[in-house]
Structure 1
Amino acid sequence: MRRSVAALVLLWISFIHLHFTQGSAIIDHHTPYWEQPFSQPYFENSTKRDTTTTVGQTAYLHCRVRNLGDRAVSWIRKRDLHILTVGILTYTNDQRFQSLHSDGSDEWTLKISSPQTRDSGVYECQVSTEPKISSAFRLSVVVSKAKILANPELYIKSGSDINLTCIVLQTPEPPSFIYWYHGNHVINYSQRGGISVVTEKQPRTSRLLISRAHANDSGNYTCSPSSSDSASVMVHVLNGEHPAAMQHGNSGGATTAVAVSLSLLTSSLLTGQLLRGVTR
């Protein structure tokens, strides 16, 4: 009986020893906490990796790192391996680049102010582990442009309506505003009656309607969205004496108007010559 009890005790001691021996292969109590496998930094993959912005519109690249510990996070420009930021410090003479981070947060954000097309490319969020780990983010900086759906010159008969439609191309976000100009004056809120401006964020369009146009409505009309290049057309409001020159979106408008003018000039010259002949 005593031998059986002793055997059980020895078996139990062996089991306990084996358990702790195996456990030490997983958790080494002599290894610092931050060097143990389960505490290694890693990237949270739910962050957006592709960002598109327009020229001049601030861009943000968001990198989230879990279990960072005492490691440092750096932002690297991939094309020339230039270090932009380390921690919250900027390591480049280009002060448009800035690292944003709040204490206790896992997020390290690269802010790029007034981006230009040359800033397009891949940026790496890098953690100073051994070996280093990194995550790539792609930035596309595009030139947003306005386009008026009309010919560069329009000929409108007096009393008709001026109807212009402007669309904004290559913009990731709808413009915060779209202004229409007649010459140098904003006409969105003009005191002249009969002017209507309808702007839609989707599909990023603005329509200008001027009813019963008269000669004073002639001139340059410009569609100017926020953060986009503007577009212009020249509108001629004619009194109706040259019907052939009236064009409504026809590409031959300018050519027809010139042809009419030349025809009138030729007729005047011929008439002058005839009158001189009669006088003689």
Structure 2
Amino acid sequence: MRDLNQSQQLPVDLEPEFEGTIQNISSPTGREAILTCSVKNLGRYKVGWLRASDQTVLALQGRVVTQNSRISVVHEDFRTWRLRIRQLRETDRGCYMCQINASPMKKQIGCIDVQGECALHSFNAIDPKAVKWEPILPESFEARGG
């Protein structure tokens, strides 16, 4: 009879790591934005989403901890974590951090660029494909330095 411990080495608590990078996105106000963070070997660790600028925790695992009802998190098999922000506002512009609570902490950052509202500029009733969209910037729009 074989000793299973000698013949088959079980993985020793593999360190979690990111698969790929979070893609930055650009979306108009009023729409939704989804940032995707992919992780492998998560094991006993947890994934959190934070607003990078002020380190505000938005969600831990699948549980949203912010009072902002426009924010949700979904995950697939504890590998793919999606931060979804509905009805985008100008204040949602910025970078968001996907964090694994390993030691040392691991993080990836993805950014959302929120553009002015899109409005239907003109419509040709004969050709429904002839729709033109133009950004409408609020009158209070101010240029900001990077």
Q: TM-score range by the shorter chain?
A: 0.7 to 0.9
Residue 120 (structure 1) aligns with = 93
The TM-score with structure 1 as length reference comes to: 0.41
Provide the C-alpha distance between the structure 2 equivalents of 1:112 and 1:69, rounded to a whole number of angstroms. Answer: 27
**Corresponding residue to 1:33 among 1, 8, 12:** 12
Residue 83 (structure 1) aligns with = 57
Mapping for residues 86-97 of structure 1, pairs under 5 Å: 86-97=60-71
Unmatched runs of 5 consecutive residues or more in structure 1: 1-26, 149-165, 167-177, 181-187, 189-195, 206-224, 230-280
Provide the C-alpha distance between the structure 1 equivalents of 2:101 and 2:111, rounded to a whole number of angstroms. Answer: 21
Write 1 or 2 for the structure with the bigger share of strand.
2
Q: Shift of the alpha carbon at 1:144?
A: 3.5
Residue 112 (structure 2) aligns with = 139
Mapping for residues 103-252 of structure 1, pairs under 5 Å: 104-146=77-119, 166=122, 188=125, 196-200=126-130, 205=132
Residue 218 (structure 1) aligns with = none
Which amino acid letter does the alignment assign opposite residue 75 of structure 1?
W
CA contact (8 A) 2:46 2:101 kept: yes
Greater gyration radius: 1
Residue 42 (structure 1) aligns with = 17
Question: In the superposition, relative to structure 1, how do residues 147 and 89 fare at CA in structure 2: closer, same or farther (>3 Å)?
Answer: closer
Q: Shift of the alpha carbon at 1:131?
A: 1.1
Unmatched runs of 5 consecutive residues or more in structure 2: 1-8, 137-146
Question: In the superposition, relative to structure 1, how do residues 57 and 145 fare at CA in structure 2: closer, same or farther (>3 Å)?
Answer: closer
Write 1 or 2 for the structure with the bigger share of helix.
1
- What SS does structure 1 have at the residue aligned with 2:43? coil
Question: In the superposition, relative to structure 1, how do residues 91 and 147 fare at CA in structure 2: closer, same or farther (>3 Å)?
Answer: closer
Whether 2:34 is the aligned partner of 1:60: answer yes
Question: In the superposition, relative to structure 1, how do residues 116 and 50 fare at CA in structure 2: closer, same or farther (>3 Å)?
Answer: same
- 1:185-238 deviations in Å (ceiling 9; x for gaps): xxx4xxxxxxx34533xxx53xxxxxxxxxxxxxxxxxxx6xx75xxxxxxxxx
May I ask how many residue pairs the two structures share in their alignment? 128
- What SS does structure 1 have at the residue aligned with 2:129? strand
- What SS does structure 2 have at the residue aligned with 1:140? strand
Provide the C-alpha distance between the structure 1 equivalents of 2:120 and 2:23, rounded to a whole number of angstroms. Answer: 30
Question: In the superposition, relative to structure 1, how do residues 147 and 112 fare at CA in structure 2: closer, same or farther (>3 Å)?
Answer: closer
Q: Shift of the alpha carbon at 1:147?
A: 7.8
Provide the C-alpha distance between the structure 1 equivalents of 2:109 and 2:93, rounded to a whole number of angstroms. Answer: 13
Following TM superposition, where does structure 1 have runs of at least 4 consecutive aligned residues deviating by more than 3 angstroms? 144-148
Provide the C-alpha distance between the structure 1 equivalents of 2:111 and 2:26, rounded to a whole number of angstroms. Answer: 9
Name the Cα RMSD after superposition: 2.7
The TM-score with structure 2 as length reference comes to: 0.76
- What SS does structure 2 have at the residue aligned with 1:33? coil
Q: Shift of the alpha carbon at 1:124?
A: 0.4
Provide the C-alpha distance between the structure 1 equivalents of 2:103 and 2:37, rounded to a whole number of angstroms. Answer: 19
Which amino acid letter does the alignment assign opposite residue 199 of structure 1?
K
Provide the C-alpha distance between the structure 1 equivalents of 2:53 and 2:114, rounded to a whole number of angstroms. Answer: 15
